[in-house]
Structure 1
Amino acid sequence: MNKLSLWLAATALATSPAMAVSPPVKPAPQKPGAPRDERKYIDPKNMDTNVRPGDDFYQYANGAWLKTNKIPASKTSWGSFNELREKSVEAMRSLLEEAARNPKKSRLQQMVGDFYASGMDSLTIEKRGWDPLKPDFARVDKLKNMTDVLNELAYQRKQSNGMLFSFFVGQDRKNVNKYLPQFGQGGTTLPDRDYYLKNDPRSTKIRDAYRDHLTKMLTLVGDPQPAQNADKVLQLETALAQAQMARVEMRDPYKTYNKLTVKDFDKITPHINWVDQMNRFGVKGQDTVLVANLRFYKTVDSLLVATPINDLKTYMRWNLLKGAAPYLSSPFVKQNFAFTRVLTGQKEQTPRWQRMSGLIDGTLGDLLGQLYVQQYFKPEAKQRMMVLVDNLEASFKEHINGLEWMSADTKKKALNKLVSFKRKIGYPDKWKNYDGVVVKRTDFFGNVEAAGQWSYNYMINRLGKPVDRTEWGMTPPTVNAYYSPVNNEIAFPAAILQFPFFDANADDAVNYGGIGAVIGHEMTHGFDDSGRQYDADGTLRDWWTAEDASKFKERAGKVEAQFFGYKVLDTLAVNGKLTLGENLADLGGLAIAYDAFKKTNQGKGNTAIDGFTPDQRFFLSWAQVWRINVLPEQQAQLILTDPHSPGQYRCNGPLSNIDAWYTAFNVKPGDKLYKKPDDRIRVW
Structure 2
Amino acid sequence: MWKYFSHLNLFRNFAALFETKQIFLTFYIMQKKLWMGAAILFCGLTFTSCVDHADNPADKPQPFDPKGSEKFINEAWMDKNVKPGDDFYNYALGTWLKTSPEDDAGFQENASTKQAKVLREYFMASSNPLAQHLVKNFKDTKRKKKDEVKTILDQMNIQKPKNAADVLNEIVRLRDKGFYPIIGSAVDGETKTHSFRAIITLGQQGTPVNQALSMDMTSAAKKIIENILTVIDEIENPDLKITDEYVEQLMTRTENILKLEQKLFEYTVKQSESDIAVPGLSPARETVESNRIATRRAGEASQFTLEGLKAAFNLGDKASFDNSKIFKEYLEGINAQLAGNDATALQTFYDYLRYQPICVLGTFLPVDKNASGDDYSYTEEVETNDETKLYFSGLTSSIPLLANQLTLEKMRELSTGKKTCTTMLEEMRKLFDERLQKLDWLSDATRQAARTKLQKMQFFVGVPDQVYDAQFTLDEGNTLMQDMLQLYAQNHAIKEKLIGKKLEESPLLMMEISGWYGVHNAYYNPATNSLNILPAFCGDDILPANDEYTRYAVGVVFGHEMTHGFDSSGSNYDENGYYRNWWTDADKTTFVDKQNQLIALYNRLEAYPGQPANGTRTLTENMADYGGMELGYALFLKDMTAKGMSGEELDHACREFFLHYAKLWQAKLSLAMLKAYYNDEHSCHGNRIRGIVTLMDDWYRVFNVKDGKLFVEPEKRVKIW
- Structure 1 length as normaliser, TM-score? 0.81
Query: Contact 1:430/1:470 (CA < 8 Å) preserved in 2?
Result: no
- Amino acid of the structure 2 residue aligned with 1:491: N
Q: Which residue of 1 aligns with 2:331?
A: 297
CA positional deviation for 1:279: 6.7
User: Aligned letter for 2:92?
Assistant: A
Partner Cα separation in structure 2 for residue 140 and residue 385 of structure 1: 50
In 1, distance between residues paired with 2:429 and 2:665? 23
Residue 526 to residue 429, structure 1, CA distance change in 2 (3 Å): same
| 1:30-429 matches, cutoff 5 A | 42-70=73-101, 78-99=105-126, 105=127, 109-126=128-145, 128-136=147-155, 139-141=157-159, 143-176=161-194, 178-186=195-203, 206-222=217-233, 225-237=249-261, 244=267, 246-247=269-270, 250-253=273-276, 271-272=303-304, 281=313, 283=315, 286=318, 289-292=321-324, 293-306=327-340, 307-308=342-343, 309-330=346-367, 352-362=387-397, 363=399, 364-378=402-416, 381-429=417-465
Deviation at 1:172, TM superposition (A): 2.2
Kept after mapping to 2: 8 A contact 1:252/1:530:
yes
How many Å separate the matches in 2 of 1:388 and 1:568? 33
Matched, 1:492 2:530: no
Against the structure 1 CA distance between its residues 7 and 254, is the aligned structure 2 distance closer, same or farther, given a 3 Å change threshold? closer
Determine whether 1:673 maps to 2:710: yes
C-alpha distance after superposition, 1:244-296 (max 9, x if no partner):
37537743118999xxxx9xx99xx8745767755764645537544442332
Following the alignment from structure 1 to structure 2, what is the Cα–Cα distance between the partners of residues 165 and 485? 25
Q: Deviations over 1:601-651 (max 9, x none)?
A: 5665338999983322222221111121112212212212x2111111111
Answer with 411-420 or 293-302: which moved more. 293-302
Do the aligned residues in 1 keep the contact of 2:77 with 2:92 (CA within 8 Å)?
A: yes
CA RMSD in angstroms, aligned pairs only:
3.9
TM superposition shift of 1:175: 3.0
Q: Deviations over 1:22-44 (max 9, x none)?
A: 62165647xxxxxxxxxx9x432
Could you tell me how far 1:498 is from its partner in structure 2?
Answer: 3.7
Deviation string 1:174-196 (CA, Å, 9 cap, x unpaired) is 332x2222112236669999999
Alignment partners' CA distance in 1, 2:647 and 2:173: 64
Corresponding residue SS for 1:170:
strand
Aligned residue number for residue 444 of structure 1 = 480
Give yes or no for contact 1:7–1:652 (8 Å, CA) kept in 2.
Answer: no
CA–CA separation in structure 2 for the residues paired with 1:454 and 1:27: 63
Q: Are the equivalent residues in 1 in contact too, given 2:189–2:510 (CA < 8 A)?
A: no
Structure 1: gaps of 5 or more residues:
9-19, 30-39, 100-104
- C-alpha spacing 1:120/1:276, structure 2 compared with 1 (3 Å): farther
Aligned to 1:34: none
Letter in 1 for 2:587: D
Q: Which residue is equivalent to 2:625?
A: 586
Superposed displacement of residue 546, structure 1? 1.5
Please state whether the residue corresponding to 2:361 is helix, strand or coil: helix
Report the alpha carbon displacement of residue 581 of structure 1 after superposing the two structures with TM.
0.7
Distance 2:394 2:475 in 1: 14
* Residue identity (%): 22
State the Cα distance separating 1:504 from its structure 2 match. Answer: 2.4
CA distance, structure 2, for counterparts of residue 623 and residue 615 of structure 1: 13
Alpha carbons of structure 1 residues 500 and 546: separation in structure 2 relative to 1, 3 Å: farther
Partner secondary structure for residue 441 of structure 2:
coil
1:199-218 CA distance string (max 9 Å, x none): xxx95xx4444334322321
Equivalent-residue separation in structure 2 for 1:333 and 1:633 (angstroms): 31
Q: Which position in structure 1 is the counterpart of 2:696?
A: 658
Asked if structure 1 preserves the Cα contact closer than 8 Å seen for 2:651 and 2:702, the reply is: no
- Alpha-carbon offset, residue 484 of structure 1: 1.0
Distance 1:394 1:286, change over 3 A: same
Return the alpha-carbon distance in structure 2 between the equivalents of residues 536 and 339 of structure 1: 54
Contact 1:428–1:472 (8 Å) recurs in 2: no
Single out whichever of 148-157 and 281-290 deviates more from structure 2.
Answer: 281-290
2:274 is matched by which residue type in structure 1?
Answer: R
The answer on whether the counterparts of 1:2 and 1:482 sit within 8 Å (CA) in structure 2 is yes
Q: d(CA) in 1 for partners of 2:559 and 2:439?
A: 17
Give the C-alpha shift of residue 2 in structure 1.
6.1
Residues 1:85 and 1:407: Cα distance change in structure 2 (over 3 Å): same
Q: Which amino acid aligns with 1:676?
A: E
Mapping of residues 540-579 of structure 1, within 5 Å: 540-579=579-618
Q: In the aligned structure 1, how far is the partner of 2:81 from the partner of 2:276?
A: 46
With over 3 angstroms needed to count, the CA separation of the structure-2 counterparts of 1:279 and 1:254, relative to structure 1, is closer
Question: What is the Cα deviation at residue 527 of structure 1?
Answer: 1.0
Q: Secondary structure at the match of 2:233?
A: coil
State the partner residue of 2:685.
Answer: 647
Structure-2 separation of matches of 1:595 and 1:329: 51
CA distance 1:613–1:65, change in 2 (3 Å): same
Q: Which amino acid aligns with 2:520?
A: V
Q: Distance in 1 between matches of 2:693 and 2:184?
A: 39
Return closer, same or farther for 1:93/1:168 CA change in 2, 3 Å cut-off: same
One-letter amino acid matched to 1:494: P
User: Does the CA contact (< 8 Å) of 2:403 and 2:516 recur in 1?
Assistant: yes
State the distance in 2 between where 1:382 and 1:410 align: 33
**What's the offset of the Cα at 1:591?**
0.8
